[in-house]
Amino acid sequence: MQIIANLMLLLALLATLGAGAYACLSLLTGRRNVLVLLDRANIVVAGLVTFASVILTVALLSRDYSYMYVYEHVDNTLSLLYSITAFWAGGEGSLLFWILSIAVMGVVFSRLSLFQEFSEKTRLYYWLFYLLVQAFFLLLVTCWSSPFMELVPVPTDGRGLNPLLRNPGMIFHPPLLFLGYAGFTSPAALALAAFICGEAKSWVKFCRNWNILAWVFLTAGIVLGAWWSYMELGWGGYWAWDPVENASLIPWLSSTAFMHTAIIELRRKALQKTNVFLMSLTFLLCIFGTYLVRSGVIQSLHAFGEGGVALPLALFMIAALVLTALVLVLGQRVEAKSLSTLGSRQGLLVVAAWALLALGLVVGLGTMWPVISKMWSANPVGLDANFYNRVCLPLFSLLILIFAVCPWFSWKEGIRDKRGLILVLVSFVGGLAISWMAGLHHPLGLITSAASIAALVGIVGVFIFIPQVRKVTSTMGIYGIHFGVALVFLGVAWSGPNQVVGEFVLDKGQSAQIGDYTLTFKDFTESQTPAIAKIASLIEVTKDGKHVGLLNPERRIYRNFPQPFAEVSVIPGLGDEIYGVLLGVDEKGAVTLKISVNPLINWMWIGGTLMCLFGLVAFRKTRLS
Contact between 109 and 621 under an 8 Å Cβ cutoff? The reply is no
Q: Which of 591, 594, 596, 595 is nearest to 522 (CA)?
A: 591
The mean pLDDT of the chain is 90
| For helices 272-295 and 243-268, angle between their N-to-C axes, nearest 10 degrees | 170
Alpha-carbon gap, residue 40 to 54, rounded angstroms: 21
Query: What does the chain come to in residues?
Result: 625
Q: 0.85 exceeded by the pTM?
A: yes
Alpha-carbon gap, residue 229 to 236, rounded angstroms: 9
Distances in whole angstroms, Cα of residue 76 to Cα of each of 73, 155, 157, 158: 11, 11, 6, 7
Strands 517-528 and 532-543: what pairing?
antiparallel
Q: Find all residues with CB under 8 Å of 262, minimum gap 6, and list them.
A: 204, 205, 207, 208, 211, 275
Residue 526 identity? E
What pLDDT does residue 492 have?
96
Alpha-carbon gap, residue 293 to 289, rounded angstroms: 6
Alpha-carbon gap, residue 621 to 62, rounded angstroms: 39
Q: Which of 525, 529, 493, 494 is nearest to 508 (CA)?
A: 525
What pLDDT does residue 251 have?
97
Give the tens place of pLDDT for each residue, 399-455. Answer: 999 999 999 998 877 788 888 999 999 999 999 999 999 999 999 999 999 999 999
Q: Is 625 a residue whose pLDDT tops 60? A: no
The band of 500, judged by pLDDT with boundaries at 50, 70 and 90, is: very high
Specify whether the backbone of 430 is left (phi greater than 0), alpha (psi in -120 to 50) or beta.
alpha
Q: Which of 289, 279, 362, 391 is nearest to 327 (CA)?
A: 279
Give the tens place of pLDDT for each residue, 193-203. Answer: 999 988 766 78
Q: Is 306 a residue whose pLDDT tops 60? A: no
The total of other beta-carbon atoms located within 10 Å of residue 363's CB is 21
Report percent pLDDT > 90 for the chain. 69
Contact between 207 and 279 under an 8 Å Cβ cutoff? The reply is yes
Mean pLDDT lowest among 27-36, 206-215, 424-433, 596-605: 27-36
Helix or strand run (H / E) with residue 25: helix 2-29
The total of other beta-carbon atoms located within 10 Å of residue 241's CB is 19
Alpha-carbon gap, residue 206 to 501, rounded angstroms: 48
The strand pairing partners of 582, in sequence order, are 593
Q: Is 127 a residue whose pLDDT tops 70? A: yes
Mean pLDDT of 77-99: 93
What pLDDT does residue 335 have?
56
Alpha-carbon gap, residue 11 to 41, rounded angstroms: 11
Q: Return the biggest CA–CA distance within the chain.
A: 85
Instruction: Give the N- to C-terminal CA distance of the chain in Å, as an integer.
Output: 36
Q: Which DSSP string do the residues of 254-266 spell out, in sequence order?
A: HHHHHHHHHHHHH
Q: Find all residues with CB under 8 Å of 48, minimum gap 6, and list them.
A: 8, 9, 11, 12, 15
Burial 17-27 (b: 16+ CB within 10 A, else e): bebbebbbebe
The strand pairing partners of 500, in sequence order, are 597
Contact between 185 and 130 under an 8 Å Cβ cutoff? The reply is yes
Q: Which DSSP string do the residues of 397-414 spell out, in sequence order?
A: HHHHHHHHHGGGB-SSSS
Alpha-carbon gap, residue 39 to 103, rounded angstroms: 11
Alpha-carbon gap, residue 488 to 249, rounded angstroms: 15
